Copies of this chain bind each other. A is one copy, B any other.
Amino acid sequence: MTPSTHTFSARLNETAELIETHLQALLADNLRHGEIARPSRLMAAMRHAVLGGGKRLRPFLTIEAARLFGAEGQGPLRAGSAVELLHCYSLVHDDLPSMDDDDLRRGRPTVHRAYDEATAILVGDALQTLAFEVLADPETDSDAAVRSDLVLGLARASGLGGMVGGQLLDLTAEGRYGAVAMGEAEVRQLQMMKTGAILTFSAEAGAILGRADADARRSLVEYGRALGAAFQVADDILDREASSEALGKRTGKDREKGKATLVDLLGLDGAKRECRQLVEKADAALASFGDRAQILRDAVRFVVEREV
**A residues bordering B, Cβ < 8 Å?**
31-39, 41-43, 46, 89, 93, 96, 98-99, 116-119, 121-122, 124-126, 128-130, 132-133, 135-138, 143-145, 147-149, 151-153, 155-162, 164-169, 171-172, 176-177, 189, 192-193, 197
Contact = CB atoms under 8 A, between A and B. Distances in A.
Contact of A98 (B121, B164, B171): B121
Given A147-B148, A148-B151, A193-B37, A160 B43 contact: yes
A138 B136 CA distance: 14
13 contacts: A35-B156, A35-B160, A35-B161, A36-B161, A36-B165, A37-B165, A41-B177, A93-B125, A96-B121, A116-B176, A119-B168, A128-B128, A151-B151
Contacts of A189: 36-37
Instruction: Please provide the 3 A-B residue pairs with the shortest distance between their CB atoms, ordered closest to farther.
Output: A35-B161, A129-B159, A133-B155
Contact of A136 (B33, B116, B152): B152
B121 A136 contact: no
Given A41-B168, A118-B99, A144-B148, A156 B34 contact: yes
Contacts of A162: 34-36
A31 B162 CA distance: 11
Contacts of A117: 98
B119 A93 contact: no
A42 to B, nearest CB: 5
A128 B164 CA distance: 11
Contacts of A118: 96, 98-99, 171, 176
Nearest to A117: B98
A93 B98 CA distance: 13
Contact of A197 (B36, B43, B159): B36
A32 to B, nearest CB: 7
B129 A151 contact: no
Contacts of A129: 128, 155, 158-160, 164
A88 to B, nearest CB: 13
A22 to B, nearest CB: 17
A177 B218 CA distance: 49
A153 to B, nearest CB: 8
A285 to B, nearest CB: 18
A133 B121 contact: no
A161 B121 contact: no
Contacts of A133: 151-152, 155-156, 159
Contacts of A42: 160, 164-165, 168
B38 A160 contact: yes
Contacts of A125: 89, 93, 124-125, 128, 164
A258 B98 CA distance: 28
